[in-house]
Structure 1
Amino acid sequence: MNTTTASTRGAGRQPPGYWYGDAPVPLSARWLSALYAGVTSLRRRCYLRGWMRPRHPGVPVIVIGNITAGGAGKTPLTMALVERLRAEGWTPGVASRGYGRDQAALALWIEADTDPLLAGDEPLLLARRTGVALRVDSDRAAAAQALADAGCDVVVCDDGLQHYRLARDIEIEVIDGRRRYGNGQLLPAGPLREPPARGSQCDFRVVNGGEGGFGEWTMRLHAGQAVPLAGGRSRPLASFAGQRVHAVAGIGDPERFFAMLRGVGIAVVPHAFADHHRYSAADFAFGSRLPVLMTEKDAVKCAGLGLESSFSIPVSAELPEAFWVALLDRLRSKYPASRASSGATSR
């Protein structure tokens, strides 16, 4: 099997070639993009001018998101933020929509053993890695209020930059360092949910991979040990160096995962799936019995498929200490009377 061409077996829809390439944008997409721009601009203006009122839970709210469609590294940053807030004495909670889950209208507390079809892959991963109080709800403002009522003294909203119903104190934009804003056009002509100027209005801009520009903070993702899905001892990722493996990624940018594996000398047979893909055993009928390495986000949905020689590769986010100092200073400046260690917060 070709080790450089991604398999499309079981793959869902991938971004159009003109989003991140030089292909011409269809006229129909340009017209729809103009309509989308008008609707989203009107919606945001309604909140900015007070015609529609956002809700605030009464404790600090930090929103992590991006202005492009698809993943950019928000979940690793959310995990890192939760752990840093805890280390500083806060009691964080995470509010999430839980994209792609069954019964999307059902508000739910997520535990480590929640069914992934009900939780959503990213919320379940967050719950398992951090044990944080986590509420999924299509109304993130309601989720934030539930977290505050449950005793959380700061709410982190995962992928909520465009959810203006939830009032926020700090906004963090996450940018894919490799693909950036693509062709710079709004959906569906390009990958943008909002115009590029929206990103400059965020308090912090974090670049995942590559080098950050002026006013941007660079985030690096580091792979942990390979964890076998069938149980047993973990092994160093470098132990696969020099071997061919099937690499599975159903994330916003699968190539980021494949490049990480190649970076430690692994010969990758790539299998790219759509973001939030629901796996079945048939998706892993690759025709050769090589080890299978997959992202941790994919692995939470594959534990019950009976996959042998399959491994989950967790990643952790690393950011400059100066980023954390600046973020925590901003948080304290907005809530100077907060006592994180006691959970008491005043506005």
Structure 2
Amino acid sequence: MIERIWSGGSLWYLLLLPFSWLYGLVSNVIRLSYRCGFRKSWRAPVPIIIVGNLTAGGNGKTPMVIWLVEQLQQRGYRIGVVSRGYGGKSAVYPLVLGPQTTTQQAGDEPVLIYQRTGVPVAISPKRVEAVQALLQQHQLDGVITDDGLQHYALQRDFELVVIDGVRRFGNGWWLPAGPMRERVSRLNTVDACVANGGVAQVGEIAMKLQAQQAVNVMSGEQRPVLELTPVVAMAGIGHPPRFFAMLEKMGVKVDHEVAFADHQPYTQSQLTVLTQPGQTLLMTEKDAVKCRAFAQANWWYLPVDAVLPAEQAEQLLQKIEQQLNKVHK
């Protein structure tokens, strides 16, 4: 229902407009308070790169963060990542992730980034504290924040916004009548815009998600995804239809699709009932990090990589390198 309202396919958004105006007023006042110095923001001793979005829901930020980390590592930079840790509940904040950190503590996306890249990752609702915790334990050349475009308490050196290239900005209204955290005009002040899927518009960098081989959640075995038949597909991400559409485009025969809420925790009993004998349960990597402890032999996940056009990718990385090479005093 909410997707239909946000996409402009329903007039129910009119009932929510007063709440949207209040949301917009509060968010603008908060931003203005930092710009005018009424609230203090913190400047980190290393460059801060924001990977955020203007809309609620999954836009592809995490694959973009992983891509940036890997690209910058290849260029010799020591990079850390901070996140709010949405979906997790730690006994203490800030929390610097380790090999034993669970998704219940840190949330699924930080654990996924940590396991995929191996870089230092810290979480805290106050991202300033997460950055400080990382810098106390690691020598870093820069820090990437997964989300946090609207977290103005942390000063930033480079802002990158990921846009859902298919859904774009829906009806254009602030939450809850629409999907917007900030208005589209905010794009005029950021350093780069990346369009995930769809058709990139003028000034945007095209990005697509490219699937790797399927990986068995229990054993780690890799296998071409087309060999996994018959398949029950599940996704607990910001926009599950994106995962299902990708499988269809790849030619994967899917018997049934199951969509869960973003960041939803799972239990073994909850997932085992999704398949019948002989069927394969295929999930996203973000789902897999939450159920490795009780995985079954027929559970597989499909990792994806962000892919950007070579020339645009190089230009983007050079801009970020310029910031990383600056010395903060």
RMSD, aligned α-carbons = 1.7
> Aligned partner of 2:312: which letter?
F
Note the alpha carbon deviations across 1:149-177, whole angstroms, 9 max, x for none.
32111010101101111100000000111
Aligned to 1:309: 298
1:104/1:138 contact within 8 Å kept: no
Aligned to 1:52: 39
C-alpha displacement at 1:58, in angstroms? 1.2
Provide the rounded CA distance (Å) in 1 between the counterparts of 2:179 and 2:233: 25
Aligned to 1:97: 84
1:170/1:331 contact within 8 Å kept: yes
C-alpha displacement at 1:230, in angstroms? 1.9
Aligned to 1:7: none
Task: Determine if the alignment matches structure 1 residue 155 to structure 2 residue 122.
Answer: no
C-alpha displacement at 1:112, in angstroms? 3.5
Please point out which of 240, 262, 266 is paired with 1:254: 240
1:111/1:128 contact within 8 Å kept: no
Aligned to 1:5: none
Change (3 A) 1:225 1:25: same
Provide the rounded CA distance (Å) in 1 between the counterparts of 2:56 and 2:7: 12
Aligned to 2:98: 111
Note the alpha carbon deviations across 1:28-78, whole angstroms, 9 max, x for none.
311101111110010000111111121111111100000100110000010
Change (3 A) 1:131 1:287: closer
Please point out which of 258, 267, 270 is paired with 1:280: 267
Note the alpha carbon deviations across 1:247-274, whole angstroms, 9 max, x for none.
0100011011001111121122110011
1:207/1:217 contact within 8 Å kept: yes
C-alpha displacement at 1:335, in angstroms? 5.4
Note the alpha carbon deviations across 1:62-98, whole angstroms, 9 max, x for none.
0000010011000001001001111111100001111
Aligned to 2:161: 173
> Aligned partner of 2:131: which letter?
A
Q: Which TM-score applies when normalising by structure 1?
A: 0.89
Please point out which of 307, 312, 328 is paired with 1:318: 307
C-alpha displacement at 1:104, in angstroms? 7.3
2:170/2:179 contact within 8 Å kept: yes
Aligned to 1:164: 152
Q: Which contiguous aligned blocks of 4+ residues in structure 1 show a shift greater than 4 angstroms?
A: none
Aligned to 1:331: 320
> Aligned partner of 2:204: which letter?
E
Which moves more between the two structures, 51-60 or 321-330?
A: 321-330
C-alpha displacement at 1:307, in angstroms? 2.3
1:293/1:313 contact within 8 Å kept: yes
Change (3 A) 1:21 1:305: farther
Note the alpha carbon deviations across 1:278-333, whole angstroms, 9 max, x for none.
11123221262310100000000111224231101111111122333323332344
2:34/2:152 contact within 8 Å kept: yes
Note the alpha carbon deviations across 1:96-143, whole angstroms, 9 max, x for none.
111010137621111243111001100000010000001111111121
Please point out which of 188, 202, 224 is paired with 2:176: 188
1:56/1:145 contact within 8 Å kept: no
> Aligned partner of 1:184: which letter?
G
Between the aligned residues of both structures, percent identity stands at: 42
State how 1:183-222 maps to structure 2 within 5 Å: 183-222=171-210
> Aligned partner of 1:265: which letter?
G
Gapped regions of structure 2 (runs ≥ 5)? none
State the aligned residue count. 325
Provide the rounded CA distance (Å) in 2 between the counterparts of 1:234 and 1:20: 38
Provide the rounded CA distance (Å) in 1 between the counterparts of 2:324 and 2:247: 42
Change (3 A) 1:65 1:335: closer
Provide the rounded CA distance (Å) in 2 between the counterparts of 1:50 and 1:177: 35
1:105/1:138 contact within 8 Å kept: no
Which moves more between the two structures, 299-308 or 253-262?
A: 299-308
Q: Secondary structure at the match of 2:311?
A: helix
Q: Secondary structure at the match of 2:162?
A: strand
